[in-house]
Amino acid sequence: MGKGLDAVPYRRYVVPLHATTVIQVKYVLFYDAAPDFRAKVPAHIQAHRALWGALQADGRLLMIGPFADEPAGGAMGVFTTRSAAEEFVRLDPFVTSGIIARWTIREWNEALVP
């Protein structure tokens, strides 16, 4: 038997009647770190955390964190609005100090939540 979706038998999923399907748009910020990011992080980590703490406290930042695969140095954050994601990039010391080489904001349709 093959791998991937071919190996999984087809199942029909039914959404319960009491469930509401509301697609909510979120904005996902992706960071790609500069090659020398590890040397620069310690000097800016507290200010970076304070920034995401402030946006999380007012409800504009929902999730944030680095990717676990090493040594990629990438991260992502999920924001409620594009302007919140843009503000984060503008104020983030990781961006202003050159820790982040590239960033992208993408619109994301949240379709399933716990």
The helix, strand and coil proportions of the chain, stated in percent and rounded to the nearest 5, come to 35, 30, 40
Calpha distance 67→59 (Å, rounded): 22
pLDDT of res. 97: 96
How large a percentage of the chain has pLDDT more than 70?
A: 79
Assess whether pLDDT exceeds 90 at residue 88: yes
Assess whether pLDDT exceeds 50 at residue 94: yes
Q: Give residue-wise pLDDT tens across range 30-78.
A: 999 999 998 999 999 999 999 999 999 999 999 999 998 866 779 999 9
pTM of the model: 0.78
What residues does each domain of the chain span?
21-110
Q: Are 103 and 27 in contact (CB under 8 A)?
A: no
Calpha distance 64→31 (Å, rounded): 11
CATH match of 21-110 with 3.30.70.1060: yes
